[in-house]
Structure 1
């Protein structure tokens, strides 16, 4: 009987893993189908300028980053997770259909007399923006309820199962790369009818979501309200203002003003949790400009590639091939970094996570600097005609693969900066890990919105910084400006690490590699002064 229960439990876990990964794959299929073609749609189909297309793209990516937090809170507070999941699955399918209706393929509206019927531009824009809004909500709900981060749902697994899961998850990322390329090629090639595969995957996702709900596969993330955390800050500010007018007495921290025994509205437990979390804010803040840099892949770099020669002989490369180049370093370096980390740990010298983060910021700044020089070089080439999505464009004759180094540098940077998510989640106290992850997500979304604001602001003060015709403008100045901002951001991070010791004190002996990998991030937490040693031990025990 015990063996039968163990066998059933193992099968249930395998079903959970397979369903979650398939749903995430289908969700990425729809998301990439929108992101990797939005600029092409906006410039070719809607006739938007480059700056406006990049602005819309960045706003959409930022919205899909923030909606998991908001939809997750709405599900917990009002409708419930099951109802919200059904609603988001419907929005997901609705989203995938609208672009097909708004931008039909040539044979979609052909009648018996072989006359193509087109939708008016105003109706196209209404359908397009409605689809983007529905996409942000639908994708956000799917990510919040069915696709939480691996660290959320794997705390009950042993080390072997943990590594096996992430190996499988790595393969899914590789499959997503192939999907990214496939969608990009479908949308700009003659095989346009295959684009209906995108709504089909949304239907598949909805069916798997329903199956997961019926079998109670959905994982309920860590409790903790983001709004309550923000409320503590607002109440503390309010009480500080009142204190200077009417109330006497001193407190050790201005956040203590929000405590009930000091006249505030929140319990001492809530306030103490927020005080611990507030020490991570330098980490979140320093991520903003780095995320602005990363978001140039689907915006600035995409426009630069679109205006380069995509032909390789008689074959027209999909624009998405350059995006895949930025993903490959992440796929290749992740196992290599794991191997190097294990080697360092075996010698008792754990590698430094803060150094990786700083090096990642440096490489991202170099990527932007290289993008600026490549833009100067691209404009020296003569113009040639190139057909994209049925429209003839005047582009530079410089081959697009000349831009590959800047994509590679940005991919390596992302592989190095990834440990910040581990710092934020795994080594914070278990009772506030959910809120910590929410704030890290807010910093990612904030980077997208900040990038969109910078694009709009630079266009308003100088249109040449983000020109509609690249060979007549100065897009390189935009890249140089971002490189300078990110360099300053990196310098601040380095100076803080210089004044605060980031070295790991002592050596961990006789523990597993997973434990060592978690303990190495203690160095970075000394930098941010985030948690006490007892919290570190509790976090390591909960992860194992």
Structure 2
């Protein structure tokens, strides 16, 4: 009886210790085990969300009005300007792959955020100087173009380190092995995107209005000052953060698994997965799964092998399962790219469409053309809040699951809405062309810009499902040591989508010009964007069918909750 009481007391002590200290391989700012009550969770995340708001404010204020700047200030034609916008957006969302790798392998996320935000701040400073220093002003066309593109591509370089590291660093503040903090992490991705939408909304309204009506330089100056302030705020949160120590290249274990599986490719599978090699390591162990069984051969122990062979010849079950996670993600990533093509349209053609339409509110106020993207931000913000506050609690009660519905189902819902959005966009553009033909060569059509509201709202709602779902998917389902790279993979969906959009514009323009009239003329009224939108909708339908098949067969990360090592 006494031994049972003692055992219960010891268990209570261990439980109290687990609640007091965080044992998920993270450290506090002094390199110690983090105290749960004073580090991480929302108290740390608010400092991180602040700099995300500033970075997104700057990005969207520049990105949504970039096509206007290139066509009106730098006098580029529509096709060239659209390609330049798509290429810049593509680079901005591809560079995170490099930044994430360096953060995960060498610098750690906190240091990468500080370094990258400094580069970002320098880019904003260059853009500001390009408007105020006489030698760099738009009147000096060649010099200004060089300085301007240096500035915006420095933003791309800075964003390459900020975006993957910042979001994964924010999610790191929640312990996966604590039920309440795990639920908090699910909410974090929703509120993270709420901050993103707030930055987008302010950027495409107030800042774009300042660009169009007051001064491009004054708007850039505000963005520069705001970024400097939020970098300081982020640094002040240092005592509250939980830090992950970089563990070298996260790609090395994957290569080791592939090499070990190839070396032992002729070995028969063991009669039971229990015979596969596994050792306690610091962190979380993964359960064995039956998919991609050829990789299991990497953890088959041969009779004549010794423990010293562990490395390139023998891998653990957890390392093999982590490799399976990456392999299983590739088809999901590929079928997400078409969604990236769709969301490239609001920053390019949607903005140019709005510039031809009646944007008056009342008798005196004219909406800047790029500000129509505020409707997308509103749609996404409403979707995120509704999903977090209404849908998630209901779905949790209905399904009994923490997330309510699987992540990939959430992504799929957004894809369906994006298809409907592109169909609406095609119908609206066809009507705009009819109005343009009837009214002739006028500067602004009588057709109000709010005709674009349904398609913008639908794409915003689609973002709230698909983009937020992809963020959580690529963060949560990659190996724990690759979470910055996971966020970078999500961002690359948008980046590659932008490149694909630019590529489609080139190919479609060339083919349609050869067969008759190009869909992309010198101006919108001589173009056929409605046909382009119909083509995107059709491509989305075919892509969605492939996505559904892959998503239904996908296996999620299977953590062994009974063997969390390192406590």
TM-score by length of 2: 0.72
Equivalent in the alignment of 2:277: none
Aligned to 1:345: 396
- Given the superposition, is the C-alpha separation of residues 434 and 127 from structure 1 closer, same or farther in structure 2, using an over 3 Å criterion? closer
Distance (Å, rounded) in 1 between the aligned partners of 2:89 and 2:529? 22
| 1:77-476 correspondence to structure 2 within 5 Å | 77=105, 84-102=112-130, 104=131, 109=134, 119-148=139-168, 150-155=170-175, 158=180, 169=192, 172-173=195-196, 175-176=198-199, 177-190=201-214, 194-195=218-219, 196-212=221-237, 215=239, 217=241, 219-220=243-244, 225=249, 227-228=251-252, 231=255, 268-269=315-316, 270-312=319-361, 313-338=363-388, 339-348=390-399, 352-353=405-406, 354-382=408-436, 394-417=443-466, 418-426=468-476, 430=480, 435-462=485-512, 464-476=518-530
For the structure 1 residues 70 and 15, does the alpha-carbon distance in structure 2 shift closer, same or farther, using more than 3 Å as the test? same
The 1:206–1:40 alpha-carbon spacing in structure 2 relative to 1, beyond 3 Å, is same
Evaluate the alpha carbon distance shift between residue 356 and residue 162 of structure 1 in structure 2; reply closer, same or farther with a 3 A threshold: closer
| Higher deviation after alignment, 148-157 or 33-42 | 148-157
Are 1:39 and 2:58 matched, yes or no?
A: no
Deviations 1:432-485 (A, max 9, x none): 655544433433332222222222322333452233311012122211111111
Do the aligned partners of residues 539 and 335 (structure 1) sit closer, same or farther apart at CA in structure 2, a change above 3 Å counting?
Answer: farther
Q: How many residues align?
A: 487
Given candidates 45, 53, 57, the residue that maps to 1:25 is: 53
**In the TM superposition, what is the alpha-carbon distance from 1:359 to its structure 2 partner?**
3.4
Question: Do the aligned residues in 2 keep the contact of 1:384 with 1:396 (CA within 8 Å)?
Answer: no
Q: Distance in 2 between matches of 1:479 and 1:124?
A: 34
Post-superposition shift, 1:67?
A: 2.4
Paired residues of 1:371 and 1:479 also in contact (CA < 8 A): yes
- Offset of residue 188 of structure 1: 0.7
For 2:442 and 2:175, the matched residues in 1 are separated by: 52
Structure 2: runs of 5+ lacking an equivalent: 1-15, 22-34, 270-291, 303-308
Distance in 1 between residues matched to 2:379 and 2:231, nearest whole Å:
32
Q: Which runs of 5+ in 1 are unaligned?
A: 111-115, 386-391, 498-523
Aligned Cα root-mean-square deviation (Å)? 4.3
Q: How does 1:6-21 map to 2 (within 5 A)?
A: 13=40, 16-21=44-49
User: Does the 8 A contact of 2:357 with 2:446 survive in 1?
Assistant: yes
Deviation at 1:122, TM superposition (A): 1.1
State the alpha-carbon separation in 2 of the partners of residues 266 and 448 from structure 1: 41
Q: Within 2, Cα distance between the matches of 1:384 and 1:310?
A: 19
Alignment match, 2:79: 51
Change (3 A) 1:194 1:295: same
Q: 2:94–2:491: 8 Å Cα contact kept in structure 1? A: yes
Return the offset for 1:306. 2.3
Q: How far has the Cα of 1:141 moved from its partner?
A: 2.1
Q: TM-score, normalised by structure 1?
A: 0.75
Tell me what 1:509 maps to.
Answer: none
1:348 CA displacement = 4.5
Displacement, 1:39? Answer: 0.6
Q: Conserved in 2, the CA contact under 8 Å of 1:383 and 1:397? A: no
